[in-house]
Structure 1
Amino acid sequence: MSVTFFLPEGEIPPDVLSLDVDRDWEWFRNAQQAWILQTCLRLRAVGDDVVLASTLPQAGVLVFYAAHKHLVRRLWTPQSRCLLVAVRGDRHEVDIGDVEILQNPRSAQPPRRIAMPHWPQPGLIARERSRGARLENVAFKGVRKNLHPELAGPEWEASVQGLGLNWQGPSAIGEDQKAPREWRDFRTADALIAVRPPRRDAYPGKPATKLINAWLAGVPAILGPESAYMALRESELDFLVAADANQALAALRLLKGDPARYRAMVENGQRRAREFDVAATTRRWQRLLFEELLPQATTLQRRLSPRWRRAVGLCRRLVGARAGR
C-alpha cells in the first residue's frame, strides 16, 4: 500500500521521472504542478514510496489537486478503498476529499483540514552576500494583478526613484505561461515588496510563499497584512507591514536609514527559513502521509462514493446557510 499522486494524463510531462525540481524549475508554473508533481518528485528524491498516476489506486492514499475533483469523482469505482486527500490551494471546499490540505494556517481545521506550507520557489537563487546592507533594488516577484494598484503605476516608480532606489516591478508571462526567470533570481534584490489589492478578508486562501522565499533568499520583505503572513509573524524582524504605497515608502525609508535593522532582518530571516526550506517541508509531508494518513487508509471499509459525499456536502452547506439567515 503506497501513496499515489494524481494528474490527468495530459498534464504529466514526458520523461517525468527524469525531472529535477530545481534544475527544471520552469515546469512547476501552475498550482497542480507545484503541489502534485513537485511533491511527488521531492518525495521520490529522498526514497519514499510514492507513485504518479492518471488512474485511481484501489488502496492506499490518493493525493489530488482541487481542480481535478470532477475527474476523480468520475474515475471512482465501488472497489476503490483509497483515502482521498485533496490539495485545495486557494479554491473552494472539496467535498469528496476525506482530508483537505490548505496553504493558509488560518483556515485550517484539523483533523480534516490540514495546513501545509507551499514549497519554496524551485531553483531559487539567493541574494549575493557581498551586497551586505546595501539597499538599491526593490523587487516584486509576481504578476501585476497581485500587486496593489498604488504600486503598479509610474507614480510609484517615481516615488521609489525619489528615494534613490530602482524598482523591479511585475513581470509579463508569455504565451507559454512559463514562470519568468526573474521570479527565482534574488541575486541583486535588496528588498522585496508584496502588497496585494486591499481586501477585507485578508486573503484567507493565499499562502505565505513570498515571505518564505524572501527569508530563504536573504532579502528583507515589505508585505501586506495578509492572514498567511501575519500567522507566521513573530516579531518586526520577520517582515515590515504595509497596506498601501505610503506605508511601503515609509518601510523603505526605514530600511535605507537603518543598516543595523537591515542586517538583523536578514539574519532573522535565515533562521526562520530553516522552518520552511525544502528539507523541512519534505519532513512535514512525510509525517502527514506516512505516519498519519497511510495508517488510516489501511482501516477503510466500504463507504459513500465521492458523488454521494459531494451531495452530502452540498446539503450541509445549504442547511448552514439557512441557519445563518
Structure 2
Amino acid sequence: MTDATQPILNFYLPYHLDGIADLPRSIEEYWDWVCKNSSNGEGKYSWTLQTYLYLKESGVPCRIATQLPGTGIVISHRDFLPSTLIPNPNLFLVCIKPDRKPHTWANYYILQSSYDPITRKLRNNQYQVTPSWPQPSLKPRTVSESRVKHIAFFGRTNNLATELNTDEWVSKLKKLGFNWMVIPMTEWDDYSDIDVTVSIRGWNEILHSNARDTVFDWNVKPPAKLTNSWLAKVPAIVGDEKVFLDTGEEGQDFLVARDSEDLIKKLLTLRSDPGLYNRLQVNGLAKAYNYSPEKLIDDWRTLFEKTLLPEYRSWMERPYITRSMVNWWKCLSFFIKPKNILDPIKGLLRG
C-alpha cells in the first residue's frame, strides 16, 4: 500500500501517564482491557488505541508512540494533547476532537459530528467527520421472536434523562410488564437478551440547543447508541436529537420519544405490533454495515491514503520557517482568548 519512503502513521498514546503497564495486542482483547482500565477514560482509547489495532491488523503501516516523534503524521485524542504542547513544525498533527475544545496547533481534525461548531472555522481539507467505532466484541440479540420485555439503556447515567433513572420509573414500567435495565459498562457488549434499547438524554431543548461548551452540546454527540442497536439487531427508541434524525429514518429504522409518556406509548405499540418491531430490525440491520468495523477500516485507510498523506507532504513542502510561524500563530490565536488560558493553568496547579 505504501513504500518505505512514506511516513509511518503514529498514534500518540502516552498510556504510561495513566499508570497503565501494557496494552492489548489484538482487537479481540480490547474490550476486556478497557473494562479493566475504565478509570482512565474509555473514550480517548476507543478513538486511538482501537483505531490503531484495527488498522494494524488490516495491514496499514502504523505504530504507537508514547512520546511525540520528531517527524511524520501523528494522530491523537484531544485528551492526550495538552494545550501547552510545544509546536513541532516537522509534525502533521491530527487531533481527534469529539466533544472537546480545539487544540492549539492541530493541522487536521477528526470530528464525530457535522454539527461541531469548529466546522464553521475550518476549510474542507482541514477536517473529516468520522463515525466512532461500534461497541467492541458486540454480542447481537439471539431471541428469535419480537418480544418486548427487556428494555435497556447502554451508557453512562449522566447521558440518561433523569426521569428514566429513578425507582419510580422502574416501578412504572414493571407494572406495565416491562423490565427496565441500566446496563453496567462491563456488559455494554451484550445485547443477546435485550428487546429494545432506549437512548434519551432528556427532553428539555434549552439544555442542549444553546450549549456553550461542546461537552454539553447534544448535537456534537455521535449516533453510536443508535448504530450499535442496529448492529445488535435490537429496535431503538431515541430522543429527539438532530444526530439521530440525520442518521436514520424515524418510524422506519428507529422510533423517537418526545417525553416519558410518549416513550411508554412507543413501548406499548412495539409490543402490540410485531410487524413494526420486525421492520425496525430489518431496516436497521440494512443500514448497520455503514457503521461496522469493516466499513470504518476502509474509511480510515482512505483517509490516510487520500487525505492525510497528501496533506502531510504539502505541509512539509513549505519552508521550515513558514511552518513554524503557522504553528505559533495558531497558538497565539488560541491563548489570546481568556477562556482558553484557564485550562493550562488548572493543569499546572494540579501538577
Same fold (TM over 0.5): yes
Bigger Cα displacement from structure 2, 187-196 vs 147-156 = 147-156
Deviation at 1:83, TM superposition (A): 1.3
Deviation at 1:287, TM superposition (A): 1.0
Corresponding residue to 1:203 among 218, 224, 235: 218
Q: Would the aligned equivalents of 1:137 and 1:168 in 2 still touch at CA under 8 Å?
A: yes
SS in 1 for 2:134: coil
Gaps of 5+ in 1: 172-179, 319-325
**Closer/same/farther in 2, CA of residues 71 and 12 from structure 1, 3 Å limit:** farther
1:219 corresponds to 2:238:
no
CA distance in 1, matches of 2:327, 2:84: 8
Letter in 2 for 1:38: Q
- Counterpart of 2:100 in structure 1 is 91
CA distance in 1, matches of 2:305, 2:29: 27
CA distance in 1, matches of 2:247, 2:19: 34
Letter in 1 for 2:59: G
CA distance in 1, matches of 2:84, 2:225: 31
Letter in 2 for 1:200: H
CA distance in 2, matches of 1:19, 1:253: 45
Deviation at 1:71, TM superposition (A): 7.0
Corresponding residue to 1:285 among 300, 304, 329: 300
CA distance in 2, matches of 1:72, 1:133: 54
CA distance in 1, matches of 2:110, 2:84: 16
CA distance in 2, matches of 1:61, 1:243: 44
TM-score normalised to the size of structure 1? 0.87
Corresponding residue to 2:331 among 301, 310, 325: 310
Bigger Cα displacement from structure 2, 294-303 vs 132-141 = 294-303
CA distance in 2, matches of 1:260, 1:163: 21
Q: 1:201-280, aligned counterparts within 5 Å? A: 201=209, 203-280=218-295
Deviation at 1:57, TM superposition (A): 2.8
CA distance in 2, matches of 1:190, 1:149: 22
Deviation at 1:98, TM superposition (A): 1.1
Letter in 1 for 2:187: E
SS in 2 for 1:23: helix
Corresponding residue to 1:121 among 113, 127, 135: 135
- Counterpart of 2:4 in structure 1 is none
- Counterpart of 1:32 in structure 2 is 44
Q: 1:21-100, aligned counterparts within 5 Å? A: 21-28=27-34, 29=38, 30-70=42-82, 73-74=85-86, 76-77=87-88, 80-100=89-109
1:144 corresponds to 2:149:
no
| Residues 200-252 of structure 1, C-alpha deviations (whole Å, 9 max, x = no match) | 32612211111111000000001112232122123422211113311211110
Q: Would the aligned equivalents of 1:9 and 1:54 in 2 still touch at CA under 8 Å?
A: yes
Bigger Cα displacement from structure 2, 232-241 vs 256-265 = 232-241
1:184 corresponds to 2:205:
no
SS in 1 for 2:10: strand
Letter in 2 for 1:250: K
**Closer/same/farther in 2, CA of residues 133 and 283 from structure 1, 3 Å limit:** same
Q: Would the aligned equivalents of 1:255 and 1:261 in 2 still touch at CA under 8 Å?
A: yes
- Counterpart of 1:175 in structure 2 is none
CA distance in 2, matches of 1:218, 1:266: 6
CA distance in 1, matches of 2:192, 2:183: 17
Aligned length: 305
TM-score normalised to the size of structure 2? 0.80
CA distance in 2, matches of 1:103, 1:19: 26
SS in 2 for 1:131: coil
CA distance in 1, matches of 2:70, 2:251: 49
CA distance in 2, matches of 1:242, 1:259: 19
Deviation at 1:24, TM superposition (A): 3.2
Gaps of 5+ in 2: 1-6, 210-216, 340-351
Greater RCO structure (CA 8 Å; 6+ sep): 1
CA distance in 2, matches of 1:311, 1:100: 19
Q: Would the aligned equivalents of 2:153 and 2:197 in 1 still touch at CA under 8 Å?
A: yes
Deviation at 1:19, TM superposition (A): 2.2
Q: C-alpha root-mean-square deviation of aligned residues, in Å?
A: 2.3
CA distance in 1, matches of 2:298, 2:135: 17
| Residues 54-75 of structure 1, C-alpha deviations (whole Å, 9 max, x = no match) | 222333311011122227823x
Corresponding residue to 1:6 among 7, 12, 25: 12
Bigger Cα displacement from structure 2, 42-51 vs 88-97 = 88-97
Bigger Cα displacement from structure 2, 222-231 vs 46-55 = 222-231
